[in-house]
Structure 1
Amino acid sequence: MLSEINEKYQSYKEIHNRVLPILDGDRSSELARVLLENSLYLSVFTTFENFLKSLIDNYIYNKEKVGVKFIDLSERIAHSLFSNKESQIKFIFDDKNKDKNKSFDTFFKWLTENVDKKTLETHIHFEFLHKDKLNGYYKDLFQEILGDSEFLNNLELTQNVDDFGGLLNKQIQSNAATFLYEYTDKIRNNIAHENEKFKIGEYSSFDDIVDAFYSIIVKIDEKYRSNTGFDLEEEIKINMLDDC
C-alpha cells in the first residue's frame, strides 16, 4: 500500500512541476492552472484520507477475525459502546422489571462475547478531518488502533527545504497535528474558492507538503504494525454475504 501511495505522490509532484508551468499565458490557461493546482492539493489530502480509511478497515477486519471483547477496547471507544446500553442497564434495576437476573445475564453476555463487525464499524470509523475531529474523535481512534491518543501531537516533522531559489537551506520543525490543522484550515477549506495561496507555516513548496504527508503516513503505518501486529499490506478478503 505504501509503495502505491508513494508512487501516486510522486506523480502529483511531477504534474505540479512539469505541467503547471506550461499553463501560463492567456486567461483560459491561467484558469486551468488554478484549477489544476487546486485539484493537486486536494488529491494529496484525499490520498491521505483514503489511507486512514484503509487503516480503519484493516483494523476492523483483523479485530473481527481474532475476536475482540468489550474489555479489550480502549477506554473512550468502550465508553461509546457502553453509552448505547444505557436503557438496557437502567432496566436491570427498574422496579417494573420482574426478571432482573435474566436482564443482567443478557447484559453480562454482551460484555463477555466478541463484539460484532457492525458494532465495531459504528464506533470505529472514518470521519472527515478538521480541527475539532483531530482534537476529539481522532485522539480516541488513535488510542484504539495506535495505542497513543497523542500520536499526531508527538509526531515531529523535520524537513530541510531550500528557500530563495535554493540559495538558502533551512530546517522546518513542526508536528503532524499542527500541520494537519493548518492544511485543513488554510488549504483544503479554501479549494472550493479557487484558492491561490498554498502555504502552511513554513511549508510553501508543493513537494515539501507532499513529503510531509507521506512522512506522516509512514509513521502511522510503523506505529500501527508495532501496536497491533497487523499488516496493512494484507489484502482484506471481503465476504459479500456480510454486506447482504
Structure 2
Amino acid sequence: MRNIVILTGAGVSAESGLGTFRDVGGLWTRFDLNDVATPEGFARDPALVHDFYNARRKNCRESAPNAAHAALARLEREWPGEVLVVTQNIDDLHERAGSRAVWHMHGALARALCGACGHRWDAGEEMAPQDPCPACRQPATRPDVVWFGEVPYLMDEIFEALTACDLFVSVGTSGEVYPAAGFVQLAGEAGARTLELNLEASANARAFDEQREGPATRVVPAWVEEMLGVSELGHSPGG
C-alpha cells in the first residue's frame, strides 16, 4: 500500500475552535446559509456576506492547528508513499501544521476572487463590496470559496487521485454533502481500502471497509502512529 488520499471535513478543525455547520449557537447557526453561502445571497447583500467571511477569517487567524492536523502532516513527511489531503475546509490549519499536499475543494478563506474577470489574490484581513480587483479594477471582489450551487474546485484531479489511491480515509465529515460523500464509493470501486475516522458514524458509514469513532485529536494521531509503526516494520498496512 503506497498512495493515500485523505478527505477532511469540519470535524478536523472543530477542536481548534472552528465550528461545524451543526454546532448549537455556532457561527453558522446565527446566519441563514441562503444569505451568506450562495451566489444569490451575495447578489442580494454583498456587505452581509463579506461581514460573515470577515468574521470567519478572524476566527481562523485566532485558531491554531490541533493534534489531528499535526498527525496528518507527520504522515505526509514520514510515509514512504504519497499522501494527499483533500479538504472541504476553507481554513489553512493543514498548511499551518506542515502539510504541503493540500487541495481545497471548497476554496480558501485566505484568498479573494474577482466575480468580473476571475482573477485571484491573497485576501486582506477584511474585505468589502467596494474593494476593486487588482487586475481589472472592478468592484466585484468576493471570497474565493465555493458556495452552495457552485462546482467544487479540482474535481477532475480529485477523481483521478481517488481512482489511483490504495487507501482512502475520510476524517471528520458528515457524509451528507456531495460530491465528497461519493468519494468512498469511487475509491472503493477502484480497489482502494476505505476507512472512516469520525466523532460518530457518518451518513455513509456503511460504505467504508472500517470505521473508528472518537474525537479527531485522539483517533487521527492513533491511526497515524499505527500506520507509521507498521510501515517501519516493513509490512504492507491494510488501514
Bigger Rg, which one = 1
Q: Same fold (TM over 0.5)?
A: no
Q: TM-score, normalised by structure 1?
A: 0.28
Which structure has the highest strand share of the two? Answer: 2
Which structure has the highest helix share of the two? Answer: 1
